A and B are shown apart, each in its own frame.
Chain A
Amino acid sequence: MGESLRIYAKLVGAQGRAQASYRTSFWLDLIGSSIIVGADLIAVLVIFSRVPALGGFSISQTLVFFGIALTAFSIADLVVGNIERMRNYVRMGTLDAMLIRPLGVLPQLLANDVGFRRAGRVVYAGAVYVVALSYADIDWTPGRVVLVVSAPLFGAVFFAAFFVATATVAIWWVESGELANALTYGGRDLTSYPISIYGGWFRRMFAFGLGFAFVAYYPGLALLGDPDPLGGPAWLGWASPLVGIAASGVAALIWRTGVRHYRSTGS
């Protein structure tokens, strides 16, 4: 296990050196992605300049959900975001080269293309989260101290599983990229707001069916100590590790099945 980690660290390091060989592109990407990320926060602030509350939550409460969701998403995006390139690997047949090495394909794929340029977003998201927490009136208990750290981490696990599962679809359906993007970025935007603002089948399907409510909403409620306007029990706030692990299990299953169905390309 330790040995494997060392090998992946080597691969990641090699990738860093490779990216450093395109210096200007690296800095432009880093700056570009920080600007895009700033736009999300502005959107929340603009909404609250018009309305006092969203789904029963004030701006400081909403920003806690927003902070957890953004931090979780940017960690997942940093680590596994590159899996969206999966469809290129499938289309070009370059997955072959990874399948003939004595390492897992998924870790290779991730190590092959770690998005250092997205590191800036994690820092930014973390800053937003910390500021949001300081404005929210949180009654700190040992449990909440654990939760404040674990919520974005398990949220990241959930997003990562979602990234992997949707990208794997490319093995069967090469042009699936836009669908995967709609689901992952849509999922991030969905979790950035209290889910009580969504209605009917949409909430049932995405927030509970797919589990997005457990990324930011329920852990956020547990942090704030607020009851769920939807009437859910308080322990749901602590369920995000279970949901994250379950999502990873499903994603692993889809991935394994996908790799066995890999068709490669001619010659």
Chain B
Amino acid sequence: MEKLEFRFPAQPATPAAGAALCGVVGSGNLEILIRPGDEADACVVSVKTSARGFGRIWEAVIAEFAARHAAGGTRIAINDMGATPAVVSLRLGQALGEYTGGVQ
């Protein structure tokens, strides 16, 4: 298991829920928990992943997520069982969608 911590600037999110959970810690999948954070214009992410050695890709995926979405003011915790970058990006988007609400 590898533990990773990231912090990226991001436009502030407008939460509709106190917290949102998306995904499951299953093979090739991950769970993402979004809670309110302490900094309105930053997205703070902690990752626990079963796959070692992919820190650089995690950093890039999360940086891209923070750049593309209004995800500031959040604290995001991830438990991962070897999800691909495609799945990570998809679940991040889905979790943020739950957190900020809005019509599907």
Please indicate whether A and B come from the same complex rather than being unrelated chains: no
